[in-house]
Structure 1
Amino acid sequence: MATKLENLEVSMISLVKSGANKKSIIYKSAKDVELNLSKDIKILKSDEEGVVYGIVYSPNEIDSQGDFADANTIKTAAYKFMKSGFAKNVDLEHSFNNVDAYVCQSWLIKSGDPMFPDEKEGSWAVAIKLESDELKDAVRKGEISGISMAGVANKIQAQETNKSENSLTNLIKGIENIFKQKREEKVEQDVLKAIQSGLDSYKQSIDELSLRIESLEKRVEFSEEALSKSAQKIDIKTDENQGVL
């Protein structure tokens, strides 16, 4: 499980065979003669004095020890390293015995960095001045191909951070579901109201039609009764030659 580093304080930078950050170093000198010694390291060789360039730490990249740090944590650590006067704290393979080298440059990578164009912005880069032939030879031979850091930090399980993020995400989703359910309930209620309104209107039309039929039936009955009474009062006269007059 990956752990996040917080409150990182770096007190030593170590020249190593392979760094925990899985990155190689670059060896550069005044002549800048480029030699490719292997797939993992690019060396710029010269007989004159040289400087090795490397990445101490990149933001949000899990190292070989399962740790990572964000950009702000790395920036704070880089500034504090220089402020504390640790430029001479360079050792070999975490021996904690200073070697004949020191950090001559320290910076945070920005987009288009000429030395590390492919590294993430916010990565901590350093230039280490090697002042012994032994160290320079070790770099040329590939015996030193990376840098590492030593210091202290608070380690937090990434799962705890994810748990908090998941809790917030679940809360947001829960609220969204409530509004969605309310919207669905409102739609359902509106549909029911529309159906009920249609039925009420249909029932009213039926009732009105029934009243009209009932009224018509009464008028027919009244007309038949009136006609029957009128027929009873008619005097029928006959003529022997012409029949009913």
Structure 2
Amino acid sequence: MILKGAVLIPDIPDSGGDVLDEETIRKVSLIFNRQVNLIDVQHTLQSVGSILESYITDDEIHFLGNTYPKGTWFVSVDVTDPEIQDAIRGGEYTGFSILAAPYRSVEEMKREGVE
């Protein structure tokens, strides 16, 4: 089962209430792609598939009836676990989330060499 959707949207609160700007989202996506690159469920760290695409939009885009601003982070994933596929089809899972140990600022990420 291949799924595509937004992970983080600039200046829109995520499910935890955090609001990230476009530059921070870009940095977070680089950390994820370079160091984590794991698709799991509810942050269990047990793989249920693989990432096929991960990108930041260069312009505003329209996807599935919604408009997303420039700087939105999208992923496409291949969910290979049959039980998770069934849960997605049943509406139990409806979006993406990332597990992160947040940096205090983009400047801190720069000091850590993430660019």
Describe the SS at the equivalent of 1:52. Answer: strand
Counterpart Cα distance in 2 of 1:115 and 1:106: 15
* More helix per residue: 1
Is 1:127 aligned with 2:76? yes
Identical counterparts, % of pairs: 25
Is 1:57 aligned with 2:5? no
Describe the SS at the equivalent of 1:151. Answer: coil
Counterpart Cα distance in 2 of 1:112 and 1:61: 14
Counterpart Cα distance in 2 of 1:78 and 1:154: 13
Q: 57, 61, 70: which one pairs with 1:109?
A: 57
Pairing of 1:61-140 with structure 2 (within 5 A): 61-84=12-35, 86-87=36-37, 89-99=38-48, 101-111=49-59, 113=61, 115=63, 118-140=67-89
**Amino acid across the alignment from 1:107:** Y
Instruction: Pick closer, same or farther for the CA change 1:149–1:125 going to 2, 3 Å.
Output: same
Cα offset, 1:113, TM superposition: 3.6
Instruction: Pick closer, same or farther for the CA change 1:69–1:112 going to 2, 3 Å.
Output: closer
* More strand per residue: 1
What is the TM-score when the length of structure 1 is the normalising length?
0.39
**Amino acid across the alignment from 1:82:** N
Describe the SS at the equivalent of 2:28. Answer: helix
Specify which structure has the bigger relative contact order, considering alpha-carbon pairs within 8 angstroms and separated by 6 or more residues.
Answer: 2
Q: How many residue pairs align between the two structures? A: 104
Counterpart Cα distance in 2 of 1:131 and 1:111: 31
Deviations 1:204-225 (A, max 9, x none): xxxxxxxxxxxxxxxxxxxxxx
**Amino acid across the alignment from 1:150:** L
Counterpart Cα distance in 2 of 1:90 and 1:132: 11
Specify every segment of 5 or more residues in structure 1 that has no aligned partner in the other structure, as ranges: 1-49, 157-245
Deviations 1:122-168 (A, max 9, x none): 01100110112222211111011111110111358xxxxxxxxxxxx
Instruction: Pick closer, same or farther for the CA change 1:112–1:91 going to 2, 3 Å.
Output: same
Instruction: Pick closer, same or farther for the CA change 1:83–1:63 going to 2, 3 Å.
Output: closer
- Considering only aligned residues, what root-mean-square deviation do their CA atoms show, in Å? 2.1
Cα offset, 1:114, TM superposition: 5.9
Task: Please say if residues 61 and 69 of structure 2, whose CA atoms lie closer than 8 Å, have aligned partners that are also in contact.
Answer: no
